[in-house]
Chains A and B, each alone.
Chain A
Amino acid sequence: MRKKEMIAMLLAGGQGSRLVPLTLDVAKPAVDFGGKYKIIDFPLSNCTNSGIDTVGILTQYRPFLLNTHIGTGSAWDLNSMHGGTAILPPYTTEEGGAWYKGTANAIYQNIQYIDRYDPDHVLILSGDHIYKMDYNKMLKEHKKQGADVTIAALTVTLEEATRFGIMNVRDDNIIYEFEEKPEKPKSNLASMGIYIFKWSELKKYLIEDEKNSDSANDFGMNILPKMLDDGLKMIVHPFKGYWKDVGTINSLWEANMDLLDENNDLNLHTNDWKIYTSGEPKGAAYFGENAVVENSMVVDGCEVYGSIKSTVLFPGVIIEEGAIVKNSVLFPNVKIGRGVILDRVIVGENTNVLSGTHAGDTTIKVIPQNKTIK
């Protein structure tokens, strides 16, 4: 096996309980986003665009669709002879088996996989966020500072800060305190859950943490505070740009709506940081004689005969004549019948909405997948 400077470990086992019913059949990283993508496409594309060619993907909750989506990793150019993607579910050993207990335990259980590549550093990612980021820049900073741990950080408002792991830093970006979801935050630097660790250090701490039966085996709660206590060098890597946790129905909807703003920071239309996804190609979108399309996103494989406004369509969606769809997100192969009116709705995959008016209000309404609404 060729030695790697850094490999990535992508935590993709999240259940996404606040996204129910959209996560009843799939893990959160496999939830659809942005007209043709799944959430996990963003960290995977970031990896390949950052020059990381080895990504271990840790799965646990309903992995089937996620595994199918990732396949050989070729869609992200990660079907490499030396590395590439590896799906890492929990497994059994001669001593029995166990589910991944926490984020740190998931990595602990895969020490053997990481050691195969003998990396100097390990990048820990989660499959829950929408953002573009050059992890290589972060690695450069990590190496330049000679840090043991580098944590990507986002500037949030003080109100939001209560929901995040907050880092209090000195002028030189060195962290002196780490507070998980503080009631009275002292700073607004929030952890994005993206860490680069010196592998030799992390491995030691993972093994030690595993021996502690009181530990929740979690990076934010256990590993990072312990490292800080022990005086390891921990720095922040400030991130500027679009970043969204799409953990709730409303935030998932908002993130989709953000794409309709031409000047949005995510900008999927640039060529220099492509987001890749897998799936079969479909023909160009067709618009009927009387179609009305305003401020919307439409992808190959759609047929629009009715009217859409501020709406995001996924492949295979059909909007019949006379239907009016506003402020909505329609997942793959959704069919909207004649005369149907939708406003502030997310419709799950393969659902036919054949009649009626469906509208959300302050919370977005979800019509679940694989249904026929008559």
Chain B
Amino acid sequence: MTQSSPHAHRAGVSFEDRMATVDFRVAERAHIVVDTSVCLSCELRSCVHACPAALFVPTDDGGILFNYEQCFECGTCYQVCDAPGALSWTYPEGGHGVAFRQG
């Protein structure tokens, strides 16, 4: 299977448009923090394709760029990441983060 870039145009809806259908009440504090120095030596990088919100983007220097703002708080990234210390994962502070209307 081809590895697609996270922001490619797919199935008629761009990924930005797809994410624009979801409400987020962004908190000031990042609830997930990525230690990109650990990511430098990660070979699998499962987070990049497994995150349903496509929030993990590989950088040219071999690190990972992560943005918490459009996170579904699903937990997939911490479950697929095998590298200890790479991710510190919590829920956003009460009332913040994703707010599904249909669910």
Do they bind each other? Answer: no
Q: Chain B: residues with CB nearer than 8 A to chain A?
A: none
